[in-house]
Structure 1
């Protein structure tokens, strides 16, 4: 029987729980940072919450399960309400990915503590969940920093575009999702974004494990 999902069937419960937590913290971090810079739009729309049901996009969630990538409902931001428009926009955009990195870091600490620093692949449910949760959050951190619209990485770099550059690039933004699909679902993946994940995911994970092993043992 062919594999229909992007993940093994037995991992789907862990994956869905991880996604609900990761997406919720990601969008909550955007909303909280926006409020700190003076924009209460997300708060007024009920997005300053860790309730996953106000953040999760069902289609985006299913896409992660089936295709391996997806999205949550974007947090609304009104740049004209920000106290420091450029700085605020950059911090708001970075807040989401950084929240995922922090979640991964905390989960690595828990994993190292309960496994006594040993490299175990035990079938224990908690350990299995933590492995998936950590990897997912590291992937979300890296993925969202890719400078393609509407990802957070693009929102950061676009703040430093000149008006002339913005006017030239803006018509191309509508094709960003198609470009990403081509990069993710064709052999181009192996020479474009694939190496980024293949290098950074294990490097970040190893670095986090080393930090906690030095602290705890």
Structure 2
């Protein structure tokens, strides 16, 4: 029993900071870009903050630590306040996943930096190795969760960010139809993920390819981190 609790706390300590940064900065990016383009809704509601209590969705947060994927409370955006509603909503929607992709790149640099430091005699002490190992797992998980959030949210299905980008690109009638579909989009996503093989046939291979491409020689650390955190 005690060993199980210790293992859970260890995994939690590794995942907590990367997960919080991934989902909070995603939402803050939406609100910040909307504010810059004329809609102050998120700012007036106090959502342009790194305080996790203003962003976290209880179920979405738990899902991250159980399934490796989750969500925060969406930042409210009033498109009518934007200077060019249709065009500006594209940038507002893209801000979240692009932030996650930027964090994924930073995580790769951090992961490679740790490996580079370990090869130098100046910091190859046991003390440094004891510190660098959990940091490497954190960086690998940060790469994974940010890449997953970035890619998943770019799927062209409302209410995902990719769906809202598509609404802004399509001609009027098609955009209106797709926008009306948004209330049912989340149900469709759940059906696709849990009742079809779209994950195993499409999303999982795509994630593996992107992780291998970004991580390069450090990919085996990503595999080890994911296995440690979600392999039981």
TM-score (norm 1): 0.81
C-alpha distance in 2, partners of 1:170/1:33? 21
Contact 1:60 1:71 (C-alpha < 8 Å) held by counterparts:
yes
Match in the other structure for 1:212 = none
The reply to whether residue 204 of structure 1 matches residue 208 of structure 2 is no
Q: Counterparts of 1:154-173 in structure 2 under 5 Å?
A: 154-173=163-182
Q: CA RMSD in A?
A: 2.5
Q: Match for residue 224 of structure 2?
A: none
**Structure 2 partner of 1:61:** 61
Unaligned runs of 5+ in 2: 1-6, 120-128, 220-232
- CA 1:160–1:47 in structure 2 vs 1: closer, same or farther (change >3 Å)? same
Query: Residues 167 and 179 of structure 2 are in contact (CA less than 8 Å); yes or no, is this contact kept in structure 1?
Result: no
Unpaired runs of at least 5, structure 1: 1-7, 210-217
1:101 and 1:141 in contact (8 A); partners too: yes
Q: Is the 8 A contact 2:20 2:52 kept in 1?
A: yes
CA contact (8 A) 1:89 1:155 kept: yes
TM-score of the aligned structures, taking structure 2 as reference length: 0.76
- Cα offset for 1:207? 10
* Matched residue, 1:114: 114
Report the Cα offset of residue 24 of structure 1: 1.2
CA distance in 2, matches of 1:150, 1:72: 13
1:27-63 C-alpha deviation (Å, 9 max, x unpaired): 1111111111011010000011111221111111112
**Alignment-derived partner of residue 228 in structure 2:** none
Query: How many residue pairs are counted as aligned between the two chains?
Result: 200
Return the offset for 1:154: 0.6
The answer to whether residue 203 in structure 2 is matched with residue 193 in structure 1 is: yes
SS state at 1:90 partner: helix
Match of 1:26 in 2: 26
Q: Which has the higher helix share?
A: 2
Aligned to 1:43: 43
Contact 1:14 1:133 in 2 (8 A): no
Q: Quick check: which has more Rg, 1 or 2?
A: 2
**Aligned counterparts of 2:159 and 2:218: Cα–Cα separation in 1:** 29
SS of the equivalent of 2:152 reads helix
* 1:118, distance to aligned residue in structure 2 (A): 7.7
Deviates more, 1:199-208 or 1:19-28: 199-208
Q: Deviation per CA, 1:1-28, whole angstroms, max 9, x where unpaired? A: xxxxxxx844333223221111111111
